[in-house]
Each structure stands twice: as C-alpha cells, then as structure tokens.
Amino acid sequence: MNSFDEMNLLPDLLKAIKDLEFEKPMPVQAAVIPHLLKDDSGDMIVLAQTGTGKTAAYGLPLLQKINTNNRKTQLLILCPTRELCIQVADDITSYGIYMKKVKVAAIFGGASIERQIKILQSGAQVICATPGRLLDLLRRKETDLSTITNLVLDEADEMLKMGFREELEAIMSETPLEKNILLFSATMPDDVWQISKRYLKKPLEITIGEKNIGADGIIHHCYMVQAKDRYLALKRIVDYYPDIYGIVFCRTKKETQEVADHLMRDEYDAEPLHGDLSQAQREHVMQKFRNKHLSLLVATDVAARGLDVDDLTHIINYNLPDEAEIYTHRSGRTGRAGKKGISIIISIFKDKKKISEIERNIKKSIEIKKIFTGREICERQLFSMIDKMITTEINEKEINPFLDIIYKKLEWFERDEVIKKFVSIQFNRFLEYYKNAPDLNVSEYNRDKKGGAVKYSRFFINLGTIDKITPPELIGLINDLTEKKHITIGKIDIKRNFSFFEADHKYRDDILNSIEDAYFEDRKIVIELSNERQHGKVEKDSKRRTFHRKR
C-alpha cells in the first residue's frame, strides 16, 4: 500500500502520522499494518532491523485495537534495553497522542520503582517494558498481564543475546494463552527460532528485504545550503542530534582547524585531527575521542586513517571529497557492528554531479533533507534532556546529605515551577540562539524523479496560447527538441504570444542549442534564457526541423 490513508487507520492515528510527517508507509509498515488490523491477525514473525520503521508497523494497528473504555493492560511490548523501551514508549505515545483515553507506561530498570507502580495503578492499556523490571513488578503483584491481547517482542534477538530468556518465559507464563505474539527481530539465531517454535502458533513470516538503511546500517542524508552557511548548517545538525558521536570530515588541514576552532568556541566537545599536529598531539586527540571525552572529531581523511572506532553515530561531510570512493570509505566508518549510522553531506549546488556519482558508488539513494528549523532543534533538545533525566541513575548515598537543604530552598516553588526551572537551565541557551534563526535551505532546489536535487533555469519560448500550446505539449516539444533527454521540467507559465518554463539547469545548453532550425508547425522556435532575453541569438536557417502537434 502506498499511503496511510488507504489503510483503514483511525482518523486520530492518521492525524498523528501527519504531525510526524510520515509521508508514506515504509515497506515493513505496508506489509504489517493491514495484516495486524484484521480481527484474526494471529502470530507473526517479522525480520526487520531497527531503522526500518517497525515501531509504527506494530504500534499503529495495535493502538487501534485497544479498547479505550477499558483501563486494563491490553498491549505488552518487551524491549531489550531501557533506551529502546523509552524510545518505543515515546513513539507509541506520539502515535496515540489524539487517542485521549490511551495511556502508555514505560517500565524499565534504573528508575524509581514506586513511581512506575503508581503509573501502573492508574491504569495503562499499553506497557512497554524491559524484562527484568517487569518481572520484578509481576512478582510484587503490582501488575497484571492476564488481560493482554497482544504481546510484542521487540528486538527479540537482542533480548535473548542479553540473557533474558528466563525472564521472557516467566513473563509469558503470566499472559493468557489466546493472545497474539508478534516477534520482531533483525536476525533469526537458534534461540529466537526456539522461542518462536515454542510459543508462536502458525506465525505469518515477513522479511523486510528493502530496508531504509540498507544492510550496512547506513542512512545517507544531504542538506543543501549556500557555501557561506556551511558552518551554521553543521551547528544545526549537531544540535539536532544531542547524542552525536562522530567525525566531521573536511578537505584541508586549514579548514579542519577552522571548523574545530569554531566548534570549540561555540562550546562543543570537538577537536581537530590533521597533519599539522605533532604525532603526540594526534595520539592524544584520538585517545580522547576513543574514550568519548570528545563527541566530535574534525578531521582530514589522511589523519583519520589511524583511527578505528566502531560505534560512531554520524559521519558529517563538511565538504565532499573529490572521489566518490573516499565518501564510501568515510561513511563506512558509521553503521558498524550492527548499529544504525547516519552519513551526512553538507552540500552546495555545484556538488550535484558528485552526489549522483556517490549514489552510484554506494548503490543507494541519498535523501535530500531540509535543514532543521530552530523550533525542531529546541524540541529535540528538550525531549532528549527529559529522556536523559528519566534514565539518570540516582546515587542516593552521595546526594542524600544535601537533600534537606535543597528541599528547603525549593520549598516555595510548586512542582511545575521546579520542573520548568530545571529544564530551562539547559534549554534557555538553545531558545536564545534559535529565537530568530533564519531558514538555511537553498530554495531554488527541487527534487527530480529520483529524489535528487534539481536547480532550474527559466526559459522564454516564443510559443503561447495563440499557438494552442498546452503544458504537456510544451514538455513533449522540449523532449523532442533535445532528443529525449527526459529533462526535468519545473513551472510552466503559458502566455498569449509566448511562454516561460523552468528546466533542469544542467541541460541549459542542450535546450538552447536544440532549437537550431527547429519549427513548431510554421513558427520558427526561439528559446532563450528568460533573464537574458536581450542577448537572444539570431538563428541561422539551414537544416529545417519541423515539429508538429501530436494528435
């Protein structure tokens, strides 16, 4: 299915999907959602990696199946780590944001169990949990799984790899027999196979071959900006990914030093790595980076050669290398060890050809993205901060001696006010910086049929309504004139005696040269760049080519 609208999802869910700007279902969603919406969907095994959109694939239809008039737990999602648990609970909350009566509880270790008990007592139809903490709560009889109708095992392979088999089995034994089990896994090792054999009844198996991130786990994004805005774009990207741990690749030692200097001045944990540093300095920087005392390393390709780090979240191409192979090598430093990684290109218009070459080299398309707005960055930072707060361990022993004084000092404030004040400590910096942040996107870019960027040139043509020419005919004519180069055409504006049209800038000369001796019916065709009309060429009349209206 090509659109969420065709899937019979509730209007409240469709509204949330719109807010999230999901334009169309990802392959796993197209395969799973319609099936799970059926009354008798049964058990299911879905082989799909993180990053493929699997959370929405099960989250949307299973939310739809929640009986909102009943406060009992109906959906249980088990995740291997608390990070995934929080992320999934957060995603499910966003999908169900307009389903007023749906409540999602995130149950994971390392956070206050009393608080989680309170949330469970207030009645959550969806529980998203890590196995250890959930089992603890089950044993304390603080939760009841006897009413669940759907159980999702998310990243089942990871859960078993982390040794949660016993917990899983103990939890399953507390759930009703007639529930549906949906097992999501990136791989199908023996232990996952055994679990599925033992607990799943005639499961439907779906393998998502075409993944958003590809087998190597790398997603490629490109941001188009003007050359002067490169650094501002870098800052926005880094601010949008608060947990970034990556390398910013520059072309020259000078550029490397400058970018690193700017980042350090702007208070990022960044340092340069290039050939003008001594061996000892280079070693020192690399060590800091390996130990994660730096979140960004600004480097030249040569200097980064000696660095082997497995868990980079991002590679940023501040400037593209001359050869596509070098880009492939740079981007291959992320998405390792089964993890997802993002390779980002900060690009200016003249890179367009290079980007196509890179796409051929990596055999994937590069997604052209819009530079984040100040609001998007502030929102992201704020929620990341809250997530960090949720997962922060409390060192009771160290903090207890100070608490009396702290409570006294805060006595005068309401709970809401305290939260707002704590959040503002960090957040004000971003709010202030991004208050009047301009749009950095280059507006003259559009996407061609393959999703690449197109810069248009605007042309004048001496045919108009008087010649009964229509937009499709005009496109056909350009196609015929240029001998079927299938040039991407933008806006068309047909006037009485003439017209304007936009066409892919890179075919500018092909179009201008195509009209030599060309006629449309009886009229000699003149095409000029619309802002250069006064310099229009005078055509020679030698080998006449006549184009006729197609009937």
Nearer to ligand AMP, 16 or 461 (CB): 16
Nearer to ligand AMP, 130 or 457 (CB): 130
User: Is residue 256 within 8 Å of residue 273, measured between CB atoms?
Assistant: yes
- 226-228-231-232 Cα dihedral, nearest 10 degrees: -70
169: Cβ–Cβ under 8 A, 6 or more apart, which residues? none
Please choose, out of 19-27, 129-137, 246-254, 388-396, the segment that lies near ligand AMP by the rule CB under 6 A.
19-27
Please choose, out of 53-61, 402-410, 451-459, 511-519, the segment that lies near ligand AMP by the rule CB under 6 A.
53-61
How many residues form the binding site for ligand AMP (CB under 6 A)? 11
CA dist list (Å): 445 to 7, 232, 383, 401, 470: 32, 19, 31, 59, 25
Is 53 a binding residue for ligand AMP by CB under 6 A? The answer is yes
Is 51 a binding residue for ligand AMP by CB under 6 A? The answer is yes
Q: Which of 351, 318, 298 is nearest to 232 (CA)?
A: 318
Please choose, out of 23-31, 193-201, 218-226, 272-280, the segment that lies near ligand AMP by the rule CB under 6 A.
23-31
As a whole number of angstroms, the distance between CA 394 and CA 478 comes to 68
As a whole number of angstroms, the distance between CA 515 and CA 528 comes to 10
| In the complex, minimum distance from the CB of residue 370 to ligand AMP, in angstroms, rounded to a whole number | 13
Is 26 a binding residue for ligand AMP by CB under 6 A? The answer is yes
| In the complex, minimum distance from the CB of residue 57 to ligand AMP, in angstroms, rounded to a whole number | 7
Nearer to ligand AMP, 155 or 271 (CB): 155
User: Is residue 320 within 8 Å of residue 354, measured between CB atoms?
Assistant: yes
Q: Strand 126-129 and strand 296-299: pairing?
A: unpaired
| In the complex, minimum distance from the CB of residue 87 to ligand AMP, in angstroms, rounded to a whole number | 7
Q: Which of 95, 104, 125, 126 is nearest to 15 (CA)?
A: 95
Is 335 a binding residue for ligand AMP by CB under 6 A? The answer is no
> Quick one: three-class SS letters along 136-174?
HHHHCCCCCCCCCCEEEECCHHHHHHCCCHHHHHHHHCC
CA dist list (Å): 301 to 258, 353, 387: 16, 21, 35
Please choose, out of 44-52, 167-175, 233-241, 254-262, the segment that lies near ligand AMP by the rule CB under 6 A.
44-52
Is 22 a binding residue for ligand AMP by CB under 6 A? The answer is yes
Please choose, out of 20-28, 251-259, 355-363, 466-474, the segment that lies near ligand AMP by the rule CB under 6 A.
20-28
**Site for ligand AMP (CB under 6 A): which residue of 52, 64, 441, 488?**
52
Please choose, out of 24-32, 181-189, 257-265, 444-452, the segment that lies near ligand AMP by the rule CB under 6 A.
24-32
Binding-residue pattern over the window 491 to 520 for ligand AMP, x denoting contact by CB under 6 A? ------------------------------
Nearer to ligand AMP, 129 or 478 (CB): 129
SS3 337: coil
Footprint of ligand AMP (CB under 6 A): 22, 25-26, 29, 50-56
